[in-house]
Amino acid sequence: MPDGSNDVELFQGPKPSEKREMSDEQFREEMRKAQQTMQQLQREEGQVKAYDFSLAAIIVQFLAQPQNTDLFLLVSRVVALNLPSEFIIAILSLVDAKAHKVVEGYLAHRKAHLHSALALRNEAHFSVLTPDQKMDIENWIRNMEDVALRNAERILETIFVPSPERQIYPPLVQLATFILRNYLTSRRISIAYEDLRVFMERVLKEVVGKISRSHLKLPQHQ
């Protein structure tokens, strides 16, 4: 893993294949947004540190890995939503060892969960998973929930598209879906993207509902 001091140099932007799929105007707009993303990440550096790596550095190093560079634009869009960086890292932690270590350290003093892991109980799509794989996903979801609980107000301010329907921002759902798909692919498990997307949208809605009830005493939004 590269040294954290040169992380910004590793953040090289969209791959050439991504540029070919966009017009010049679209590409310039995406690069402008990506630059804003980096500025936001750099602002957060120094605010929260864990295991000698800033949260910004973890995100940058994740994107610098060849298998993750296709997620550049999607991650930049999610960061631009002004979600807490630790929540983004919790999403990445299913497939990134450093992010997982940071999240576990961040939650080291949390209280034990009082509820069972039930997210996968009615998901026929996941019947092919081993118990260990199911536990990986359950723990990932619990970690996302616990990280969100630590910054509930900011999550609830930034996670929704501004509309009466309170729809969760699609790029966030897409990122979580891609991370889950990458985890499954690395274990030679193939599940249709749309099935994973529907599952992750439901999971994120449940996370939002729990933090709403637990911290802000708001009604759950379906």
Q: Which domain holds residue 103?
A: 14-107+124-216
End-to-end CA distance of the chain: 41
Structural domain contains residue 4:
no
Structural domain contains residue 179:
yes
- pTM for this prediction: 0.76
Q: What percent of the chain has pLDDT over 70?
A: 68
Structural domain contains residue 115:
no
- Residue 7 · residue 61 · CB < 8 Å: yes
Structural domain contains residue 8:
no
Backbone φ and ψ of 67, nearest 5° = -75, -10
Tokens 């939002």 found at: 208
Per residue in 85-120, pLDDT tens?
899 999 999 999 999 998 998 888 776 554 444 566
Per residue in 127-183, pLDDT tens?
889 989 999 999 999 999 999 998 899 999 999 998 888 899 999 999 999 999 999
What is the number of other CB atoms lying within 10 angstroms of the CB of residue 29? 12
Structural domain contains residue 101:
yes
Structural domain contains residue 169:
yes
Number of domains in the chain: 1
pLDDT at 211 over 80: yes
Backbone φ and ψ of 54, nearest 5° = -70, 160
Gap between the Cα atoms of 173 and 196, Å rounded: 10
Structural domain contains residue 6:
no
Q: Report which residue type is found at 180.
A: L
Structural domain contains residue 37:
yes
